[in-house]
Amino acid sequence: LHVVFAIDRGGLVGADGPTHHGAYDLSYLRMIPHMVIMTPSDEQELRDMLWTAVQHDGPVAFRYPRGNASGLPLRTVFETIPIGKGEMRRDGEDMAILAVGNMVQNALKAAELLENSGIHAAICNMRFVKPLDTELLETLARRFKYILTVEDNAIIGGFGSGVAEFLTTVPGMQPVLRIHGLPDEYIEHGSQEDLHRSLNLDPLGIARTAGE
């Protein structure tokens, strides 16, 4: 059926407390056949994803974080996003960082830190957790030896797991893949900034993980 799930408080919620983290939605929604899962990187993309979801013939979920928008100037018109298509936000030569949702902004800032260390990272806003942009993934896997996925969802069954599952289906593609996200444990109370920092999901933590 054409059902649209607008899921707020995606990822770590900070002041709402440890019982309210949106840590598992990407994992349990991925299991549902024909489900489309979208993750906007900013408020403009959120508007476009709502527009896209309303027009799509089938079940759609999109998740967005708790907190204020980034202040991006908004267009007066909506644009339809092709289902299952990500985008390159920054090119690089040494590795690719694939991010979803609000982790895209942190990944872009991490790329600037990596640049200072001589590591030129490409940043991809994957936008869709399901269906994945397999064409883009195959291109990146053939181009880069190192790939890092970043998400504010449980690692088990999440976005990175989907990337790993796809890469096993294509012969001859064996990049070094590292999945970065929430560990297999309950996350305690704390501000979003503090939690991202403690879990290495802030820009410095992502850069540190990418450089290991």
Per residue in 21-70, pLDDT tens? 999 999 999 999 999 999 999 999 999 999 999 999 999 999 999 888 87
Contact 92, 123 (CB under 8 A): yes
Question: Contact at 8 Å (CB) between 99 and 45?
Answer: no
pLDDT tens string 131-155: 999 999 999 999 999 999 999 999 9
Question: How long, in residues, is the chain?
Answer: 212
Per DSSP, the three-state class of 28 is helix
Say how far apart CA 107 and CA 176 lie, in whole Å. Answer: 18
162-195 per-position pLDDT tens digit: 999 999 998 887 789 999 999 999 999 888 899 9
For residue 5, CA distances in Å to 11, 24, 63, 81, 155 come to 16, 15, 8, 17, 22
Please state the φ and ψ torsions of residue 62, each to the nearest 5 degrees. Answer: -135, 140
pTM above 0.85, yes or no: yes
